[in-house]
A and B are shown apart, each in its own frame.
Chain A
Amino acid sequence: DSGVTQTPKHLITATGQRVTLRCSPRSGDLSVYWYQQSLDQGLQFLIQYYNGEERAKGNILERFSAQQFPDLHSELNLSSLELGDSALYFCASSVRSGGATDTQYFGPGTRLTVL
C-alpha cells in the first residue's frame, strides 16, 4: 500500500457526462500528479499540482481540469466524456515539487468506462 488513496475505484458513465475523480496524497506529500493509462497511449502525464498551485501540464485535454485543495487532496474533473476517455486514471504524490529528486508513489487508480 503506497499510502495514496483514490476514489472511486470504478466508474461507469455515458458519453457527454461529467465525472470527478478524487485523490488523497500520502501524509506529508505536497505534490499530486495525474496520469492516464490507455491501451493506445500507454501511461501519459496529465497535470501536476504542488501545494495548491499548478506546476506542470502534460497532454491534458481542455475538457479535463484539476485542482488541489488546501488539505492537499486533489480532484480531476472530466467533462463532455467521449468513448476514448475510457482509461485507468492514476494519481501519484511526492514530497517536494517534483523533478529529478522525487519519487512518485501511485494510488490504485480509478478505472473509467464511458459507454
Chain B
Amino acid sequence: AQKVTQAQTEISVVEKEDVTLDCVYETRDTTYYLFWYKQPPSGELVFLIRRNSFDEQNEISGRYSWNFQKSTSSFNFTITASQVVDSAVYFCALSEPVYNQGGKLIFGQGTELSVKP
C-alpha cells in the first residue's frame, strides 16, 4: 500500500539557518507524483511543488529546493537561509494514479518547522 513518512515531527532552527525536511514514500506504482504543501498558522494548505516519478532532476525555487531520489524513495525539501515566515507545518504527499483510485492524495504526518528570530 502507498505510504508517506515524515519522520521529523518538529524542527526548530534560528533564522538564516538552512533546514532540510525529510520525506520517504512507499508505492508499487511506476508512475506517480509527489507533492509538498505548506500549512501556515492561518491554517490553509498552500501548494509548493509537484514532481513526477520520471523526473529526478532537483528543483530550486528561490530559497526552496527539492531533492528527489528514486533509489531511496525520498523527496526531501530544503529551505536555505530560513526566515520567520517559513514557520509552518509542511506536508509531503503522494498521488495514486487516476486509473486506480481517482485523485487521492496520501499525506505524511507533517513536519512542524519553527524558525526563531
Contacts and interface: CB of A to CB of B under 8 A. Distances in A.
Nearest to A90: B45
Interface size class of B (residues with CB under 8 A): 20 to 34
A31 B103 contact: yes
Task: Give the one of A2, A43, A56, A97 with max B CB within 10 A.
Answer: A43
Given A43-B91, A99-B98, A106 B47 contact: yes
Nearest to B42: A108
A101 B103 CA distance: 9
6 contacts: A42-B108, A92-B45, A97-B102, A100-B32, A100-B96, A100-B97
Interface of B: 31-33, 35, 37, 42-47, 50, 52, 91, 95-110
Interface of A: 2, 31, 33, 35, 42-45, 48, 50, 55-56, 58, 88, 90, 92, 94, 96-109, 111
